[in-house]
Structure 1
């Protein structure tokens, strides 16, 4: 079937190129128009440190009349069995590669199963739960840190006189968020002395740690009781701190984006529709000849549908490749104008669906009208 359709198109190379060009331009415009939605939601989740209802800022401190009797890592690892722990307020460190150095915020982390949310990954891979549990010397580096120091995936960097392998680069290249300027380290890959110095008071030997805890809010009370039972030699106070919450409604951002891009999207839809109508109308004589030769209407309609489907899919493939190339070449310039060539599942899926559906629907009316033509009259069509 595919061979027949392609052979059919190749008989009209200029028409084929004209149709594909129109489809590709329209698909690119639609993709660019809605491509910003995903970035907005990612940035909001990053700036709020995760999904609402699934992360909390928690302060854990032991009472001053009872000297702390545990290794702080034990407390954090125990909490990390329920959700990801990010240890906050641990200061800044120098990240070095060769002669280049940048001072950035360090976030020690612990989790022993896949987190319910992670910062966007720009390159490489996330640290796995197994690597985190084993305390392997692997890190995630923010995009701005990587750019400033000249770091790439699999490079080895120096942090506090220790060597760490860069497992991935997090954040977004053209959209700033809270994770663009940090270094993310498994807490077990850091020395006990360093962790103790950040959360244990030397003066009265009490623990005071602020954690970003990625776990369902409803489970915090239950986990707090379990913690006190497990580490009963110390009395802990656990306070939840308010994180600014703004409900992220995907449909809201979709509607707002579409409203501002409606003119461009309408032009694209009209263009796709016009191309489809043009294709059917240009073949009226050919189609009526087929009727004269005994072809059934159903067969002719199916052949047109196949042509339109192949055209749409071929155009989508070209537009995806072209969009990736444009993202590499001109994203830094076009992003300043609130547009993006970034390809994600949202704009890719919507563009594909729109191209196929609009192309198909637009071909129905002229196709049906063509089928109504009397064969003798249809052959006279120029």
Structure 2
């Protein structure tokens, strides 16, 4: 069957080329549209560090700064992780590798179960539950720090020194194509570096927590946090004041307009291409009416003829899809600087592959239906006489 299909392509090479070009234009426009939509969604989430409905900010001021507080602070943080992921963000910058010129903002983090979003990782992995259970000295560093410390990328031997302790670098955070708030930040598991809180005897009487919870019930989250604080501090001389804050939902009208506009443009191009492809397919199939009519006269079933034509169309569409995705892949390589300046990433992802493959198959089937129907209604003798 494959040999017959290749022979048909060779006999109708010009039509196949035009069909392929049509598919390439349509699938490429659709795939780039998918990349634009994906980038818009990522940018929206990055700007709010995740889903705003699941994020609570807790600013806790302790009125007493003593040993009792230091003894209980670890228990407080550990208990809050029962609600969700905890990040402590109001910490001072620290020297990296004991270099006065190389400092970074530090975020202590801890969770017992991964939340529905985490900081984007360019290379390596995000923390997992075992990192916290086993008190592993691991860190995630921002891409600007990684460029300075590990210009060739990270491996199993990539480590940084913080407070005279060696930490293995397991991931690089940020986005390859644009700047983010994580580019100069180091994330450290709380239980391996809790002394950074510096609760005892220094200037720090407060902590700011970012809570990323599964629950979107704000009253429930507030109640759980205050209950934990009350329980842990009830037998001490420590007291506290707490303020809860929430990230406001962004005005998503611009994001929606961008997605709608992208879908409209890509969809319009795709519809035009499908119409042209149908016309080209009609010409291609009608041009083979002699071959098809001979098959019918020799007893070939209509279902077999229809199947072979659809398979040929899908193969052309799939081959065109591969070319379109390859073109999309090399675009950011050729225009790397220009795309970086506008912060756009169009490198194909799994979404592009799946979406393009689905569209290629659908277009291959649709573009075959009209000419097949017309061809099947033709009388073989009449068709041969006019061939």
> TM-score, normalised on structure 2?
0.83
- Report deviation, 1:306: 1.9
Residue 28 of structure 1: how far off its partner (Å) = 2.0
User: Aligned pairs, how many?
Assistant: 373
Residue in 1 that maps onto 2:125: 125
Q: Match of 1:194?
A: 196
What's the counterpart of residue 138 of structure 1? 138
1:235 to 233, 239, 246: 239
Q: CA deviation at 1:21?
A: 4.7
Indicate the larger mover: 144-153 or 48-57: 144-153
Conserved 8 A contact 2:110-2:189: yes
2:141–2:173: 8 Å Cα contact kept in structure 1? yes
- After TM superposition, give the deviation of residue 271 of structure 1 in Å: 5.2
Contact 2:144 2:184 in 1 (8 A): yes
C-alpha separation in 1, matches of 2:149 and 2:65:
46
Q: Paired residue for 2:29?
A: 29
Deviates more, 1:278-287 or 1:164-173: 278-287
- SS of equivalent to 1:34: helix
Q: Distance in 2 between matches of 1:10 and 1:127?
A: 54
1:102, 1:149 within 8 Å by CA — same for their partners in 2? no
Report the counterpart of residue 383 of structure 2 in structure 1: 378
CA distance in 1 between counterparts of 2:164 and 2:183 reads 23
Q: How does 1:278-289 map to 2 (within 5 A)?
A: 278-289=283-294
Superposition RMSD on alpha carbons, in Å?
3.2
Task: Answer yes or no: is the 8 Å Cα contact 1:139–1:184 preserved in 2.
Answer: yes
| TM-score normalised to structure 1 length | 0.84
1:12 aligns with 2:9: yes
Unaligned runs of 5+ in 2: none
Q: 1:163 to 1:267 in 2, by over 3 A?
A: farther
Q: What is the aligned counterpart of 1:208 among 198, 206, 209?
A: 206
Matched, 1:70 2:93: no
Does structure 1 retain, via aligned residues, the 8 Å contact 2:278–2:370?
no
CA distance in 2, matches of 1:352, 1:317: 9
Structure 1 CA distance for aligned equivalents of residues 160 and 181 of structure 2: 21
Q: Does the aligned pair in 2 maintain the 1:292–1:375 contact within 8 Å?
A: yes
Unaligned runs of 5+ in 1: none
* Gap change, CA 1:322 and 1:101, over 3 Å in 2: farther
| Residues 1:95 and 1:332: Cα distance change in structure 2 (over 3 Å) | farther
Q: Is the 8 A contact 1:5 1:306 kept in 2?
A: no
CA displacement 1:248-293 (0-9 Å, x = unmatched): 5886653132245556445544554455444423322222221121
